[in-house]
């Protein structure tokens, strides 16, 4: 059985873009049509820069394979971010990303993006007693920094989730869910409406900096630009003249049912929050706007669907929600995550007026949209202070492939149990 991506099947921003077949001159060239690239293109173009964006397909990478949870912050608790970056830099990043859901849902409303947006909240679910201690600690740290959250005990979480398997949950009512591919393509459509040139079936093959201009070559066209953004995250292919980003590749997959009746879903996520748990080998679950139940976990499905991971998905869904015992999973799809050693995104300065942004470690919607907006401001003003983190000129991540293989091995062992 081949992979079938639910987000492609239920796409509502069904827009396509032509390949680049000419020589184009722009202020800014963007390589990568995910959240970061499309957000940068939108914000740069609506503020007067001429923009050309190229990719194989808008949302082809992690942006079109995402769980669709619009959350604030990173996976890390805020104090950990401050410990890694230093207090002032950590506070700056935490404060910036705390407003990411407002930015995402604001762009959706402003640009009328049809992506099944639902701001009913998200639940971080404690899978164990230790997990509950973790969300208690996160609750304290986040509320001390101004977040409006609710800490639910086991009984409250059970009612909210519809499952007795969790020890509690952390509710963020300002977060929510979307169809992540529709959102990404909607950003691209909005950027095009502001004047950005968007091209699909157009991959960069060579990049060089000459006479104060960046020259990007594709198979059938070229771009000359003063400024350059590479926003390919975990999906960058080899480009002559540019060193690829270094990160740990981690795979995440999802499975979904066909639309279910209200009777089949009675008691399951009655308020329609998106959920993920505190387990080391994390899993997620949610409903879409057509009452499909979606469950996800760490692991590489492979082209023919891994039996280990697909069997786990069905077993896990039935364990959490016994009412789903005889329900089949009809969609399976997966994607790749760029994880950094410290789980903090990177802005890599690759040359004059040129940056590469990557490494969201699995939380790309809010941070990717925000980083795209902030890099557009930097291109407009020439001031890097608008960026949520300081750019670096070195990428010292090591043994990424080896670490990725280790994570995949651990996921398979976990999913065999």
User: Residues 11-70: pLDDT tens digits?
Assistant: 999 999 999 999 999 999 999 999 999 999 999 999 999 999 999 999 999 999 999 999
**CA 327, CA 213: separation in Å to the nearest integer?**
57
When pLDDT is averaged across residues 320-336 and rounded to a whole number, the result is: 95
Tell me whether strands 354-358 and 222-230 are parallel, antiparallel or unpaired.
parallel
Q: Map tokens 């859901």 to a residue.
A: 101
Q: Is the dihedral of CA 30, 33, 36, 42 positive or negative?
A: positive
**CA 178, CA 323: separation in Å to the nearest integer?**
25
Helical packing angle, 180-193 and 100-110, nearest 10°: 60
At 402, the pLDDT band (50, 70, 90 cuts) reads very high
User: From the CA atom positions of the chain, what is the Rg in Å?
Assistant: 21
Q: What are phi and psi of 158, to 5 degrees?
A: -60, -40
Q: Map tokens 């760029």 to a residue.
A: 338
Contact 275, 269 (CB under 8 A): yes
User: Which domains occur in the chain, in start order?
Assistant: 6-121+174-416 (3.50.50.60)
Which segments of 16-144 are extended strands (E)?
23-31, 51-54, 69-70, 122-126
Which segments of 6-129 are extended strands (E)?
23-31, 51-54, 69-70, 122-126
At 324, the pLDDT band (50, 70, 90 cuts) reads very high
**Average of per-residue pLDDT values in the chain:** 96
**CA 12, CA 331: separation in Å to the nearest integer?**
18
In sequence order, what DSSP letters do the residues of 239-304 get, joined into one string?
BBTBPPP--EEEEEEEEEPSP--TTTTTTSSTT--EEEE--SS-EEEEE-TT--EEEEEES--TTT
pLDDT digits (tens, 9 = 90+) for 4-15: 999 999 999 999
Report which of 60, 91, 52 is spatially closest to residue 73, judged by C-alpha positions.
Answer: 91
Residue 138 is encoded by which pair of tokens?
A: 């996160």
Residue 298: count of CB within 10 angstroms of its CB: 25
Residue 115 is encoded by which pair of tokens?
A: 């992506």
Contact 271, 258 (CB under 8 A): no
What is the value of pTM for the model shown?
0.97
**CA 77, CA 122: separation in Å to the nearest integer?**
16
**DSSP 8-state symbol, 173:** T
**CA 412, CA 281: separation in Å to the nearest integer?**
10
pLDDT at 209: 97
Q: How do the residues of the chain divide into helix, strand and coil, expressed in percent and rounded to 5?
A: 35, 25, 40
**CA 342, CA 76: separation in Å to the nearest integer?**
9
Q: Is 134 exposed, middle or buried (0-12, 13-18, 19+ CB in 10 A)?
A: middle
Which has more pLDDT, 393 or 79? 79
Q: What are phi and psi of 39, to 5 degrees?
A: -65, -45
pLDDT digits (tens, 9 = 90+) for 292-311: 999 999 999 998 899 999 99
pLDDT exceeds cutoff 80 at 290: yes
Instruction: Identify the three-state secondary structure at position 62.
Output: helix
Contact 196, 17 (CB under 8 A): no
């Amino acid at each position: 059985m081949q992979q079938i991506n639910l987000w492609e099947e239920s796409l509502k921003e069904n827009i396509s873009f032509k390949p680049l077949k000419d020589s184009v001159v722009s202020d800014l060239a963007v390589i990568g049509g995910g959240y970061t690239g499309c957000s940068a293109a939108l914000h740069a173009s609506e503020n007067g820069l001429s923009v050309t964006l190229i990719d194989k397909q808008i949302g082809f990478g992690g942006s079109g394979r995402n769980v669709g949870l619009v959350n604030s912050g990173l996976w890390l608790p805020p104090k950990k971010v401050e410990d890694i970056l230093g207090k002032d830099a950590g506070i700056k990043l935490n404060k910036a990303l705390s407003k990411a859901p407002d930015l995402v849902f604001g762009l959706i409303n402003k640009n009328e993006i049809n992506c099944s947006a639902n701001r009913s909240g998200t639940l971080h679910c404690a899978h164990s007693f230790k997990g509950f201690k973790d969300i208690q600690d996160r609750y304290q740290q986040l509320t001390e920094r101004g977040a409006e959250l609710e800490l639910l005990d086991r009984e409250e979480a059970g009612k909210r989730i519809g499952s007795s398997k969790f020890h509690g949950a952390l509710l963020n009512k300002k977060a929510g869910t979307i169809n992540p591919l529709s959102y990404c393509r909607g950003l691209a459509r909005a950027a095009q409406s502001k004047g950005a040139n968007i091209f699909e079936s157009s991959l960069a093959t060579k990049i060089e900096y000459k006479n104060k201009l960046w020259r990007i070559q594709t198979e059938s066209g070229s771009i000359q630009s003063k400024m350059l953004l590479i926003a390919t995250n975990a999906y960058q292919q080899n480009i002559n003249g540019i060193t690829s980003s270094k990160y740990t590749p981690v795979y995440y997959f999802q499975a979904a049912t066909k639309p279910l009746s209200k009777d089949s879903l009675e008691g399951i996520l009655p308020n329609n929050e998106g959920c993920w748990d505190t387990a080391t080998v994390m899993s997620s679950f949610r409903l879409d706007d057509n009452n499909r139940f979606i469950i996800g976990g760490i692991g590489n499905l492979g082209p023919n669907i891994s039996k280990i991971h697909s069997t786990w998905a069905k077993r896990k869904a039935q364990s959490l929600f016994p009412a789903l015992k005889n329900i089949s999973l009809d969609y399976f799809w997966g994607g790749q995550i760029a994880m950094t050693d410290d789980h903090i995104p990177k802005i890599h300065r690759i040359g004059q007026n040129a940056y590469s942004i990557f490494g969201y470690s699995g939380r790309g919607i809010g941070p990717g949209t925000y980083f795209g907006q902030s890099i557009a401001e930097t291109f407009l003003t020439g001031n890097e202070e608008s960026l949520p983190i300081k750019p670096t000129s070195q990428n010292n991540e090591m043994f990424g492939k080896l670490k990725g293989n280790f994570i995949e091995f651990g996921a398979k062992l976990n999913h065999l149990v």
